[in-house]
Amino acid sequence: MSNTVLEVKNVLKTFGGLKALNDLNLTVKEGTVHAIIGPNGAGKSTMLNVCIGQLTPDTGSVTFNGEMITGKKPFEINQAGISRVFQTPAIFEDLTILQNVMVPALASRDGDFTFNAFKSLQKENDLEEEAMKFLQEVSLEDQAHNLAGSMSRGNKRRLELAMCLIQHPKLLLLDEPTAGMARHDTNRTIDTLKKIKEGGMTKIIIEHDMHVVFSIADRISVLAQGTIIAEGTPDEIRGNPKVQEAYLGGAHL
């Protein structure tokens, strides 16, 4: 049986009188693609924010590779091996695509994210080959020397994925990786995620597009009103009446 990489245990997170996460429990196994689905407002992004230290739970804990990470700062959690692709791409639009991929590797190596990216890049050439390898992973190598600000939204999402991969994370968190994409960009992203899946990296993916979820997920957890209401393989989730009612008002997934 696979080892547990991430364990979210009895997490409660409130905002005023709203329970965004309500006694949430989640276990993610090594080498799997674990999808989190659920209606808007279910608490999916809040859960990721708790996992990366952007939010502190009111009660409960998050354990990563056997180590408690609740209360740690986001950069400490990143250095421990968790990287996240956000809903809105966080890139350096005035740098080239290649330079964008080099920046997080330099920051990770130097121990924090407060360094001057422009000055550091002027002194570094040894990371170019590695950065190009990850651009090839996301099919952007032919645009390496273009400015990142000129990219389409779909390409920006894949660029941010490469920026995470060069950090060699043990766990990759993907928050709506195909949101706002045209279908052809979505299909290219599915192909990219399938390729990365073959490498065995553990991933958590939050995604509304069920075609994406059922294409790449090994296991699916369904979140509703801040708690997990069902969990299983894609086939088990697809045929679960409780999930159909909570997620699509009774319609089949």
Q: Would residue 82 count as lying in a domain?
A: no
Q: The CATH number of the domain where 213 resides is what?
A: 3.40.50.300
Q: Would residue 90 count as lying in a domain?
A: no
Range of the domain at 45: 1-73+206-253
What are the backbone dihedrals phi and psi of residue 91, each rounded to the nearest 5 degrees, phi first? Answer: -130, 170
Q: Would residue 27 count as lying in a domain?
A: yes
The gap between the terminal CA atoms of the chain, to the nearest Å, is 29
pLDDT of residue 124: 62
DSSP 82: E
Inter-residue contact 97 to 159 (CB < 8 Å): yes
Map residue 149 onto helix, strand or coil. Answer: helix
Can you list the positions of beta strands (E) in the chain? 4-15, 18-29, 33-37, 59-64, 67-68, 82-85, 171-175, 202-206, 219-224, 227-232
Q: Would residue 122 count as lying in a domain?
A: no
Q: Would residue 156 count as lying in a domain?
A: no
Cα–Cα dist 251/249, whole Å:
6
Structurally, the chain folds into a number of domains equal to 1
Q: Would residue 107 count as lying in a domain?
A: no
Q: What is the mean pLDDT of each run of 10 residues along the chain (253 residues)?
A: 86 94 96 92 93 95 96 91 80 91 77 52 70 91 93 87 90 89 85 81 92 93 92 90 68 50
Q: Would residue 58 count as lying in a domain?
A: yes
pTM over 0.75: yes
